[in-house]
Chain A
C-alpha cells in the first residue's frame, strides 16, 4: 500500500510511534527526526537502532521505552546488516508461507558515526540488495555525540570536537571536509531513492520518508539534525538552525529517484554562512575570514548543485578545502 504525501502537520494525525520515555537532551535534533520519521512510516514498521545517542539516550534507567512499534538494538557498525537481516526474514517467511503476506517497513535509524564510518561497508552492502520498504536514515549530528562529541567523517571543517580541539598550534579544529555520504550512496545502482533532508522545511522529512518507503527498493535519507550539546547552542534554536542550514546553503536538500536528480529546496537568495555559524559554539574560534573562505567554498558548490538540478544528473560538487591562512 502506497503512503500518501502529507501537506500539513495536521494530516499526519496525533499518533506517535516514538514518544515519551527517553532522556535525550532538550532540543535534540535526532529525537525530533525520529519522531517525524516514525510518524511518516506508521504502525507496520520495525525499527532498528545502531548504538549512538538514539540508542543510549533513548534507553532509560526506569526501563521505559519510547517505541510503540517493535524496536531492536544493533551494534554500532551493524545498521546495514540489521536492516538486511530483518527484511530478509520477512521476505523468507512470507514467501515460504510461514507468515501472512503483508508489507512491513524496516527503518534503521543510525548516526553518522554508525553509518558514515564504522558501518559504512555494511550500509553499502545492504544497498546492493533489492529489499523493498527497507529504509536507512542517517541522522547527521555531525559528531560521535554519545561518547562526548568526537569528530566523525561528517563533522564540518572548522568544528571543534573533543578529538579535534582548537589549540595554540592547531587553530582550526577539524581540518577534514565533511564527507558527502548521500552522494556516495547514490552510486549504488540498486537504490531506488536517495535524499538529504533537514528538520526544515516542516514536511520535507515526512514526505521523503514516505517516498522512500514507496520506492520499491532499498532507500537512504541523510538528515541534518542539530545537536545542542555538540554544536553548542541554546536548545530553543534547533529548528532555527535547521532553517539556517538550508537557507544559507550549508546543507543542500536534494533527492535522487531512479537516476533523476533534483534539488528539493533552492535558497531564493543565498545568505552568507555567518549567522548560521555564529550561533554555534563549535565555530567560535573561527575568524570572519575563515567563515568567508568557507562561504566561497559553499558558493562554488552551489554552482554545481544548480547545474546538477538543471541536468537532472549528479555532478560531484567537488571544491578544494579552505586552506587555513
Chain B
C-alpha cells in the first residue's frame, strides 16, 4: 500500500448505519442526554430499553435507568423525574400501555414533557405479536402529542424533535413517538445519525416550577374543588395543544435545515397534485402505499398517497386542503373501534370527522386490517380498486372492508 491515502468523503456522503427502529431511537435518547429512563419489558418496544441499558453499562452516556415493577410505575417514575427537572424516556407496547393508562393521563394534565416510545402491537386477548394501532390511539384524548414515524430514520429524528417540542414553554406536554411494531421496531434499515450540526437544537430542559427545594415551594396537582379552577385547568392543556402546532412547524424547519433532510411537519404526500383518488395512512405501510401509488400512476390512474406524521395534534386543516379535491379516499387503517359510527376504525372515523368541514366531501372507505395479520400490496391495490369503483358508481356499496379476513366479511 502506498503512503498516499484517499481523502475521506465523509462530509459529502453521510455515514449510514444499519439500525433497527429501536436502536435508532436509543441513539436519539443518547443524543438528547436523557437523565432518567424507566423500563419494563413487553414486545416489540423492549429493544429500545435493551439498547439503552447496554449504552449505559458501556459508559456511552450516563442516566439513571430504573427497572420498574410495571408500566404504571414506569410512567409514574418518568412523570416524577420530569417534575424535578430531569429529561426522561419511557415506552411500552400493547397491553403495557393500557396498564399504564392512569399514569399516562396524569402526565399530560400535570404538563410534564415526558417522551415515550409506543411500539404498536395488538392488544390481548389472545396474546398476539401482530401490529395494530389501538394501543396508542386510545390515548388520543389525553393531552399527549402523538407522532407516527414511517421508518427507523424518521423515528430517530422524531424522538429528538419530540423533546424539543414537548419541553418548549409554549407546549409542556408529553409526547408519544409511535412506531409500527416489527416493521419498524425490529427491521434494520439504513439510518444516518445526526452529526455536529444538531448541536444546540435541543436546549437544556428547565421546568418552569421545578419540584426542588432549591426553588420556591410548589404544591403540584393538589385536589381541587371543580367549580374553582377545573375548567381553566383543562383549558391550559387545550391551549398548549393548540400552540404546539406552531412549535412543531418551527422545530421541523430547524431540524430539516440542520440535517439536510426535508420534512413537511404534518403530512407527507406523494403523487397528490392532480390525484382523484387518495390512499391515507400512517406509519410503516406508507412505503407500500407509495409503491402502489407509483404502480397505478404508471397505468395512468390518478392516485396519490397522504401520510399523517402527527395524530395529536390532528392535522385537520392540512388534510382538508390536501384531500378536498379528490373524489375517493382509501383509508389503510390498522385500528378498530367496535360499535363506532359505521363500525369503522378509530383512524377512519377521525378522518371522516375532519373532512366533514371540507367544502367538498370525498367518498371515504375504510380498509381495516385488524388482528395483526399482515396485509400486502395486493390488498392495498384492491382497496384502491374498490374505492375507484365506488367513485365511478357515485356511491359506496359499503363503507368498511376487512380485506385480510378469511371467510365472509359480514
Q: Which of A39-47, A222-230, A235-243 contacts B (4 or more CB under 8 A)?
A: A39-47
A15 within 8 A of B: no
The CA-CA distance from A82 to B220 in the complex, in Å, is 13
Pairwise interchain contact A48-B63, C-beta atoms closer than 8 A:
no
Pairwise interchain contact B217-A122, C-beta atoms closer than 8 A:
no
Kindly identify, within residues 65 to 98 of chain A, every residue whose CB is under 8 Å from any CB belonging to chain B: 65, 67-75, 77-78, 80-86, 88-93, 95-96, 98
Pairwise interchain contact B103-A75, C-beta atoms closer than 8 A:
yes
A63 within 8 A of B: yes
Min CB gap A244→B, angstroms = 32
Q: A71-B219, A72-B80 are in contact. Are A84 and B35 (CB under 8 A)?
A: no
With an 8 Å Cβ cutoff, the count of chain A residues facing the other chain is: 49
The CA-CA distance from A111 to B64 in the complex, in Å, is 28
Residue of A nearest to B216 (CB): A70
B212 within 8 A of A: yes
* Size range of the chain B interface in the assembly: 35 or more
Of A71, A73, A85, A91, the contact of B77 (CB 8 Å cutoff): A85
Q: Number of residue pairs across A and B with beta carbons under 8 Å?
A: 163
Q: A68-B217, A86-B211, A121-B70 are in contact. Are A93 and B80 (CB under 8 A)?
A: no
B410 within 8 A of A: no
What residues of chain B lie closer than 8 Å to A72, measured between beta carbons?
Answer: 80, 83, 110, 211, 219-221
Q: Which of A54-62, A135-143, A261-269 contacts B (4 or more CB under 8 A)?
A: A54-62
The CA-CA distance from A113 to B78 in the complex, in Å, is 23
The CA-CA distance from A111 to B79 in the complex, in Å, is 21
The CA-CA distance from A70 to B84 in the complex, in Å, is 10
Q: Which of B161-169, B223-231, B270-278, B322-330 contacts A (4 or more CB under 8 A)?
A: B223-231
A12 within 8 A of B: no
Pairwise interchain contact B213-A43, C-beta atoms closer than 8 A:
yes
What residues of chain B lie closer than 8 Å to A70, measured between beta carbons?
Answer: 211-213, 215, 217-220
What residues of chain A lie closer than 8 Å to B103, measured between beta carbons?
Answer: 75, 78, 81
Q: A89-B80, A92-B63, A122-B76 are in contact. Are A71 and B223 (CB under 8 A)?
A: no
Min CB gap A158→B, angstroms = 32
Contact pattern, B 52-84, Cβ under 8 Å of A = 1, otherwise 0: 000000000011101011101110111111111
The CA-CA distance from A91 to B358 in the complex, in Å, is 52
What residues of chain A lie closer than 8 Å to B229, measured between beta carbons?
Answer: 63
Pairwise interchain contact B36-A85, C-beta atoms closer than 8 A:
yes
The CA-CA distance from A82 to B82 in the complex, in Å, is 11
The CA-CA distance from A93 to B211 in the complex, in Å, is 13
Q: A69-B217, A85-B38 are in contact. Are A122 and B80 (CB under 8 A)?
A: no
Min CB gap A54→B, angstroms = 10
Of B68, B106, B217, B228, the contact of A71 (CB 8 Å cutoff): B217
The CA-CA distance from A99 to B85 in the complex, in Å, is 9
B125 within 8 A of A: no
What residues of chain A lie closer than 8 Å to B69, measured between beta carbons?
Answer: 80, 121-122, 124-125
Min CB gap A130→B, angstroms = 11
Min CB gap B55→A, angstroms = 15
Pairwise interchain contact A86-B217, C-beta atoms closer than 8 A:
no
Pairwise interchain contact B217-A88, C-beta atoms closer than 8 A:
no
Kindly identify, within residues 156 to 213 of chain B, every residue whose CB is under 8 Å from any CB belonging to chain A: 204, 211-213
Pairwise interchain contact A91-B64, C-beta atoms closer than 8 A:
yes
Of A46, A73, A80, A84, the contact of B213 (CB 8 Å cutoff): A46
Pairwise interchain contact B102-A75, C-beta atoms closer than 8 A:
yes
Min CB gap B257→A, angstroms = 28
What residues of chain A lie closer than 8 Å to B79, measured between beta carbons?
Answer: 82, 85
A233 within 8 A of B: no
Contact pattern, B 238-265, Cβ under 8 Å of A = 1, otherwise 0: 0000000000000000000000000000
Residue of B nearest to A42 (CB): B213
B86 within 8 A of A: yes
Which label, helix, strand, loop or mixed, suits the secondary structure of the A interface?
Answer: mixed
Min CB gap B112→A, angstroms = 10
B141 within 8 A of A: no
B5 within 8 A of A: no
Of B77, B219, B221, B225, the contact of A88 (CB 8 Å cutoff): B77
Pairwise interchain contact B74-A71, C-beta atoms closer than 8 A:
no
B298 within 8 A of A: no
Q: A121-B69, A125-B68 are in contact. Are A89 and B35 (CB under 8 A)?
A: yes
Pairwise interchain contact A100-B214, C-beta atoms closer than 8 A:
yes
B222 within 8 A of A: yes
Pairwise interchain contact A65-B35, C-beta atoms closer than 8 A:
no
Q: A55-B223, A69-B217, A81-B73 are in contact. Are A92 and B86 (CB under 8 A)?
A: yes
A302 within 8 A of B: no
A104 within 8 A of B: yes
A129 within 8 A of B: yes
What residues of chain B lie closer than 8 Å to A93, measured between beta carbons?
Answer: 35, 84-86
Pairwise interchain contact A88-B81, C-beta atoms closer than 8 A:
yes
Pairwise interchain contact A89-B36, C-beta atoms closer than 8 A:
yes
Min CB gap B241→A, angstroms = 22
Of B33, B64, B80, B110, the contact of A81 (CB 8 Å cutoff): B80
The CA-CA distance from A96 to B205 in the complex, in Å, is 14
Pairwise interchain contact A78-B72, C-beta atoms closer than 8 A:
yes
Residue of B nearest to A75 (CB): B102
Residues of A within 8 A of B (CB): 43-46, 48, 55-56, 58-61, 63, 65, 67-75, 77-78, 80-86, 88-93, 95-96, 98-100, 102, 104, 121-122, 124-125, 129
Residues of B within 8 A of A (CB): 33, 35-36, 38, 62-64, 66, 68-70, 72-74, 76-86, 102-103, 106, 110, 204, 211-215, 217-225, 228-229
| 5 further interface pairs, Cβ-Cβ under 8 Å (given A59-B224, A63-B224) | A45-B213, A86-B83, A89-B64, A89-B80, A92-B64
Mind listing 20 A-B residue pairs with CB under 8 Å? A46-B211, A46-B213, A59-B223, A61-B228, A63-B222, A65-B219, A73-B223, A78-B73, A82-B79, A84-B66, A85-B36, A85-B82, A89-B36, A89-B83, A92-B64, A93-B35, A99-B214, A102-B214, A121-B70, A125-B68
